[in-house]
Chains A and B, each alone.
Chain A
Amino acid sequence: MNFAPVDWTIVVAYLAASLLIGLLGRKYVGNTTHFLVAGRELGTYIGIATLAATEIGTITFMYNSELGYRYGFAAFSAALISGIAMIFVGRTGFVIRRLRELRLMTVPEYFEVKYSRGLRIVTGFLVALGGILNMGVFLKVEGEFLTVVSGLDQKYLVVTMIAILLLELIYTTVGGMISIVITDYLQYVLLSVATIIITIYAVHFAGWHAMVAKVTTVMGSSGFNPITAPKFGWSFLIWQLLLWLSIHTCWQTTAMRMFSTRSPETSKRVMTWTGFIFLGRGMLPMIWGIAALTLLGHGALTGGVPGPIAHGHSLAPIDAMPAMLAMLLGPGIRGIVVAGMLAATMSVNSSYLLGWSAVISQDIIGPMRKQMGRPPLADATQLLINRICNFCVGLFLIFWGLLYTPPGAVYLYLNITGTIFLAGAFICVIGGLYWKRANITGGYCAMVLGAAGAIVPFFFLHKSESFAGFAAFGLSAVGLLFGSLFGKSTKVPQPQMAIPEGEAR
């Protein structure tokens, strides 16, 4: 056991405070708009806190440090692209400004505005499927981090996963987005303090020159140059650019923050400043991974990189960073860092739970009822359905997390599962917003070909992630173009574009 009583005290105090603060949100929930988009009351600074906290979790630290461990400084290219793409979207308002003006609550809702209710349901299904599968690996990886750092026995992994999820479920189900925003503020501050502490420790103990020397010895120039790195190259970099542009505009949890802001201008400011945080979100954990390679990378070569060894035991590359933290951090500091990581975990998971369950309730159940000619649901019933969806997604995550282990680097698995729906959704949203001839046939072709382009090459033809990513975005664009030009010229209905405050479409 690596944890001292002071560490346990800090962690338990944080968990109790987080739960109590989260429960505060309940008294402000009056309708579905409050529950899903916090009444669209987010200002710039709290918007930055909640967006950053949502997209920075223990899972983010784990996969980015794994990338640093496996690919050295060349991995920084992925972080640089994510940050610069976000700053570009924020400065220009590309996609997000127009989506915010429409007063949406979910991304698939746009598909009914521009295309058809049927396409909204199909998109809602793909978004929920891809999103939940994507989130499915979070709990296991996060549980591993906590057990490695704290020194808890691996047999407690399942209990740790369930405990984390239950705490998140309690306040997300009760207070929705309002509770999430309040806890995100606290969690963002705590996770940032932990990030800065770990970076100082990692660089101090490993040493900059030693890290450069280790990467040079193990990987040569490929450890620095992303164009010559075997897993990277131009195709990877272009795919990453497309992927991150689509994530910053169409990823449900990010988009929900944009929909929750006070105005389109606020959403642009939030996106721009969070872009700078995204540079650190990627590069800082990557440098932890490189530090872990320097300090622990003495094992047998796997994929050209020496495996980590801690206390005489061989570990997987993804566990190198937590093992290094367990070794470097002293009592008290370890408790603060683990509380920070728990904060990161809870902020991401609670937002993702709300995001994906919102898609199920708003874009699958609601529209299907309308399609069947049923009357709209009362607000209280909609809230109840949202809460039940939250609970069911949570249950699924526990079972999926136990059953499934992703092959290869977790970052690439997350990218490819996201691409399943992001390629089609991104192309359809851009086509819908900026091309007048985009129509329903093109929309269906783009969604189906985008999903097929990611799934078939990666899972069945065993092509690289970059190839599958390119295929998904390329086929989706071709689908929208040819489907719209040569498909049946269906008249696209233009329902009321902006809806009154407090109402659901």
Chain B
Amino acid sequence: MNAWICFWAVWLVISGAAFAIITLIVAVKGFEDLRAMFAGLSGEKKKS
């Protein structure tokens, strides 16, 4: 049972850390993507 407790503890730490780090990166870089998406959509709308 101790092996299972360690196994789940490790995965819990990995999942929590990955969740927090990816959130931080996405919060910053996602905004740039959003602006690029608006630029692309505006360009397409003007063409049509």
A positions within 8 Å CB-CB of B: 28, 30-31, 34, 38-39, 41-49, 52, 73, 76, 79-80, 83, 178, 181-182, 185, 188-189, 192-193, 195-196, 199, 208, 212, 216, 221, 224-225, 273, 276-277, 279-284, 287, 502
Contact residues of B between 1 and 48, Cβ < 8 Å to A: 1, 4-5, 8-9, 11-12, 14-16, 18-20, 22-23, 25-27, 29-34, 36-38, 40-42, 44-45, 48
Point out residues on B near A: beta carbons under 8 Å: 1, 4-5, 8-9, 11-12, 14-16, 18-20, 22-23, 25-27, 29-34, 36-38, 40-42, 44-45, 48
Other A-B contacts than A30-B45, A73-B5, A502-B48, 13 sampled, CB-CB below 8 A, are A34-B44, A41-B37, A41-B40, A43-B36, A45-B26, A48-B26, A49-B30, A52-B26, A212-B5, A216-B1, A225-B4, A277-B19, A502-B44
Task: From known contacts A49-B26, A279-B11, infer whether A195 and B41 are also in contact, taking CB-CB under 8 Å.
Answer: no
Task: For B39, give the chain A residue with the smallest CB separation.
Answer: A41
In the bound complex, CA of A43 to CA of B32 (Å):
9
Q: Does the CB pair B8–A224 fall under 8 Å?
A: yes
Q: CB-CB < 8 A to A34: which residues of B? A: 41, 44
User: Is B37's CB under 8 angstroms from A195's CB?
Assistant: no
Contacts of B5 in A (CB 8 A): 73, 212, 224
Task: Identify A284's interface contact among B16, B26, B48, CB under 8 A.
Answer: B16
Contact residues in A for B4 (Cβ distance below 8 Å): 73, 221, 224-225
Q: Across the interface, which residues of B come within 8 angstroms of A46, CB to CB?
A: 30, 33-34, 37
Q: A80–B15 Cα gap in the complex (Å)? A: 9
- Contacting residue for A76 out of B11, B19, B48, CB 8 A: B11
Known contacts A41-B37, A42-B37, A73-B5: does B26 contact A188 (CB below 8 Å)? yes
Q: How far is the CA of A221 from the CA of B36 in the complex (A)?
A: 52
Contacts of A196 in B (CB 8 A): 16, 19-20, 23
The answer to whether A185 touches B31 (Cβ under 8 A) is yes
Residues from chain B with a CB closer than 8 A to the CB of A31 are 48
Residue from A49, A52, A279 within 8 A of B14 (CB atoms): A279
Smallest beta-carbon distance A454→chain B, Å: 29
Contact of B18 among A208, A212, A279, A287 (CB under 8 A): A279
Q: Which residue of B lies closest to A260 (CB)?
A: B37
**Complexed CA–CA distance, A465 and B9 (Å):** 28
A45–B15 CB distance below 8 A: no
A225, B33: Cβ atoms closer than 8 Å:
no
Bound-state CA distance A464–B11 (Å) is 28
Q: Is the CB of A30 within 8 A of B12?
A: no
Complex formed: what's the CA distance from A49 to B44 in Å?
Answer: 23
* Complex Cα–Cα for A47 and B18 (A): 17
A72: nearest residue on chain B (CB-CB)?
B8
**Which chain B residues border A178 with CB–CB below 8 Å?**
41
8 Å CB contact of B42 from A28, A44, A283: A28
B45 A287 Cβ-Cβ under 8 A: no
The answer to whether A43 touches B37 (Cβ under 8 A) is yes
